[in-house]
Amino acid sequence: MPRIAVLNDIHGNLPALEAVLADVRAIGVDRIVVGGDVFPGPMPHLVLDSLWTAGPPVDFIYGNGDVALLECLAGGAPRHFPASYRPSLEWNARVLSDTARIAVAAWPMTMRVTMPSLGSVLFCHATPRNENEIFTAQTSDARLLPIIDAARADLVVCGHTHMQFDRSVGGTRVVNAGSVGMPFGHPGADWLLLGDRVELRCTAYDVHAAAAAIMRSGYPGAEDFVAKYVVSQPSAGDMLALYAQHELVP
């Protein structure tokens, strides 16, 4: 039975990624899908190097953070990212090699595979139609049904909100893989394993060693990143309340 590891929202957190990749290698997978938002974050260039040499083939789709990075590379202001992130995105752009820039620009918005036990699987970052839209485990079926039905998939795998869930919308199973680099509600690195079944996973890692490495990275938002997302995390309740104000806004 083929197995796919889904690693979303890494956000340049290399120590978290390395811990997940150690688990992925121990389990043995046939493929890795990175579901958007390698950027922005403290060590995105090293994250790409680590993924490209991980062993199994790696497929990438883009997320809203990756689109914002490309907008910076093109000399523009990110349209859907707060202005406060501009220095971080510009730093991310500077540390990328020409090879990496070309690779990121070629990532698609979605990806589809067929798995024997799961049927047609569509990978997207936020929703199948948009890399910015927010929905959660609490978003109503009525609002989601037209979006999810249009995907014509048995399983839709998403990310973007940094919180795992597994729910049904109409006749479609919808699973959020969570975030490797910035999970909300708990420490660790969240990811997803697809095989004969769907397994939501969380890998523990040394957050204090990670914090020290991130502080040495030169990333302009390092201190804030460490304080908010590595040694502590926003609560799930607070994030759900915030997301409820912005559901399905493009």
Do 165 and 136 contact (CB within 8 A), yes or no?
Answer: yes
pLDDT above 80: residue 47: yes
Using alpha carbons only, give the angle 158, 21, 156 rounded to the nearest 5 degrees: 15
- Relative orientation angle of helices 207-215 and 14-27, to the nearest 10 degrees: 130
What pLDDT is stored for residue 62 in this prediction? 98
Are 15 and 210 in contact, with CB atoms under 8 Å apart? yes
Token pair belonging to 50 = 């680590």
pTM for the predicted model, two decimal places: 0.97
Residue 138 pLDDT grade (very low, low, confident, very high; cuts 50, 70, 90) = very high
Distances (CA, A) of 162 to 67, 105, 157, 238: 18, 23, 13, 13
What domains sit in the chain, N to C, each tagged with a CATH number? Answer: 4-109+178-244 (3.60.21.10)
Average of per-residue pLDDT across 29-48: 98
In this prediction, residues 214-224 reach a mean pLDDT of 96
SS3 (DSSP) at 215: helix
- pLDDT tens, 159-210? 999 999 999 999 999 999 999 999 999 999 999 999 999 999 999 999 999 9
